[in-house]
Every structure is written in structure tokens, then in C-alpha cells.
Amino acid sequence: MPSATYDAVWGRVFATVYDAAFALAERRGFRDIRRDLVGRATGRVLELGAGTGLNIAHYSKQVSELVLTEPDWHMAAKLRKRVERGLPVASVLEAAAESIPVDDASFDTVVSTLVLCTVRDPIRVLAEVDRILRPGGAFLFAEHVRSASPRAARWQDRLNRSWSWYACGCQCNRDTALTIEGSSLRTEEIREDRLRWISPVVRPLIVGTATSGV
């Protein structure tokens, strides 16, 4: 559990440098992945752990309302600034993905990019996604994951503790595909991809969709 000092000091630095730290990965492919994934969101949309709001630019006119959830107040402050710069359908909700204060079956789409690595309890988060999606609603995700290569996965295990300290709780060795497939959501599609120009421990990526309540 990170201390209040860690949150106040490093949490603030992390939120401040986040966009710059990701700039190369964004330019070398992840921005296109965001655009293709997030562009599929329709209707009432809720995003988990929206961070500084790098997905905002990719939502289409098919989105009638966008609720950007984010539990970290340093990130939430940056997110609010991006929203204020011109997205009338969007609002920011300071909430952790394990317990989101919204009604059952009240959203058409839930989006998660690079969040299931960091949440405290991914199994509970996926149950929460299923709860808040209407039957047939879509869960759209792009998440970095445990490597399929045993050698690379061993390195992820070795480096997980120090990586997690650096990256505000991110666990680089989580088998998130397995967690999604084991959840109550129905997996429609998972494809493997890679994050580029970023630490090798977070390069393996999955991108996909799952459906609620069918």
C-alpha cells in the first residue's frame, strides 16, 4: 500500500510527466490503437482510470455521454483541464474501478486502456464492468500483460516490485487475458499487439472486446 508521502510526491510527478513519458509509445502505434478502439464506443460511455485523458480525442459523435472515472486526484486534476478545453458531453468522476457509484445496466460501453495492470483487484473490477453495462453492452480494452515468453515473463516477475514502485502500482506481470476470459463477460475478440518505445516489461499488449450479460 503506497504511503501518503509517496502519493503526494511521486503521484504528482507521475501525473505531471505521464504524457511526455508516453509520447514516443503514442506516436509509434499506441495512438492508432486508442483511435481504433475508442472510436468504437457508442451511447453512454464510462472510462475506467482515464488518467490524463489521452483517449478523449478519439471518442466519436456516436457518444451521447462520457463519464471519465479516475481515483487519483493528481490525474483527475489534469483530466478536468482536458475536459474543460471542450468536450461538452464529458464529466469526471473520482472513483476507483472496484466500486463505481453508478446504477446497474446504465452504460452502453466501458473503456479501459492500461488500467487493469494497476487496479487493486482486477476480478472485482471486471464484475463491476459487467454490473454497470446494459445486457449486450461492450467492454473495450487495450492492456499491457504478462509475456507469452516464459523467459520474458520471468524478467517481468523479477522486476515487478521496482517497476510497480516507479509506475504508481502498475503490475507488469499480470495475465489480464486470463482474468478477462475467466470473468462473467463474454470475450468476443482478443488480439496480441505490442507497445513500442517503452520499457520491455510493459511491451506485450492485448486489445479486444467483451460483451455483458448475454
Q: Which residues bind ligand SAM (CB under 6 A)?
A: 48-51, 54, 70-72, 75, 96-98, 113-115, 118-120, 170
**Rounded to the nearest whole angstrom, what is the least distance from the CB of residue 123 to ligand SAM in the complex?**
12
- Is the Cβ–Cβ distance between 142 and 209 less than 8 Å? no
Cβ within 8 Å of residue 25, ≥6 positions away: 195, 196, 197, 198
190 vs 198 by CB, closer to ligand SAM: 198
**Rounded to the nearest whole angstrom, what is the least distance from the CB of residue 17 to ligand SAM in the complex?**
12
Sign of CA dihedral 20, 23, 26, 29: negative
**Rounded to the nearest whole angstrom, what is the least distance from the CB of residue 213 to ligand SAM in the complex?**
22
72 vs 214 by CB, closer to ligand SAM: 72
**Rounded to the nearest whole angstrom, what is the least distance from the CB of residue 91 to ligand SAM in the complex?**
16
Cβ within 8 Å of residue 203, ≥6 positions away: 144, 147, 194, 195, 196
96 vs 185 by CB, closer to ligand SAM: 96
70 vs 130 by CB, closer to ligand SAM: 70
**Rounded to the nearest whole angstrom, what is the least distance from the CB of residue 65 to ligand SAM in the complex?**
19
Closest residue to ligand SAM, Cβ-based?
51
List of E strands, the chain: 43-47, 63-69, 90-93, 107-113, 133-144, 186-194, 204-211
Residue 189 DSSP one-character state? E
Please tell me the distance from the alpha carbon of residue 187 to that of residue 165, in angstroms, as a whole number: 31
49 vs 204 by CB, closer to ligand SAM: 49
Please tell me the distance from the alpha carbon of residue 144 to that of residue 205, in angstroms, as a whole number: 4
